[in-house]
Amino acid sequence: MAERTGLEPATSNVTGWRSNQLSYRSIPFGWAGRYGEGAARAISFLAESHFLWKLCPHGDFLAFPRLRWLLVSIVIFGEMELWFDPLARSGPEAMAMDEWLLEQVTHPVLRIYRWDGAWGSLGYFGKLSEAEKGLRGVDFVRRWTGGGTVDHRGDWTYSLIVPRDREVARMKGGESYRAIHHILLEVLRAEGGAPDLSVEKGKSGGMCFENPVENDLMDAGGAKLAGAAQRRGKLGLLHQGSVATGGDSRLRGELFAERLAESWWEADLVVDEDRVAALVEMKYGSKEWLARR
């Protein structure tokens, strides 16, 4: 298990900067083990602050050491499981696995997974005919979440499954999207990249990585680097994300978990294969689901 006590500031190796160079210690915003909802509200408040957006019009709060310290110190969850799904899965199985997790989790789970074969996914509201024109040479699966069409040949894919009693699951979509992507931005910068948050006001849909929307991650050349789609319901929040560059999957997953949660551990889940198979048959693997639009 990897764990931070919350008594010391979180550490970042972004551009050689370490938060503990500052003379003051971590504020309670970072104590998500005790104040998980307060931490979530704090990061939401910081992200929404008109003063901060005026100071940092491109959302690059991390360029300012003291603001960077606040955001790096804040975590969204008190505790969380990190699951490296051991099996490469077909598109329908991959989507069914996320729904099964949402049905049964009692605390947040970060799932990192791989695809078995050449797959593209389209959003719940996407048109299959448009996806097939925009992306060739793949099989398609329709997601339960919204957003555009994603080519999963070579990307790094994750899902964040959050029970409904967590503050993040009760945030507005834009707030939770921005909070999660702020943390992913820090992870990708720690890898040596130079991503920034998009300020585009575009509409989701079409080819996902050709159509950046607000709070997507962009690389130094202005190309979209990471996007995601969400679904909220009575069970909680499902956040499905994709990063265009693969990288070291295990290291990236661990860095992401460390910044998302005050305390996390790597899970070894026992999958209800019967339920997953039923979801594939009834929903994600059916022609009716795929061609619904």
Two structure tokens written together for 181: 């992507």
Dihedral angle of Cα 49, 54, 55, 60, to the nearest 10 degrees: 80
Residue 140: closest CA among 126, 155, 154: 126
Pairing of strands 109-115, 77-89: parallel
Q: Which backbone phi and psi does 217 adopt, to 5 degrees? A: -100, 135
Two structure tokens written together for 10: 């979180």
* Residues labelled catalytic: 208
Two structure tokens written together for 126: 């996407």
Residue 39 near residue 30, CB atoms below 8 Å: yes
Residue 203: burial class (beta carbons within 10 Å; 0-12, 13-18, 19+): exposed
Contacts for 207 with CB less than 8 Å, ≥ 6 apart: 134, 135, 148, 149
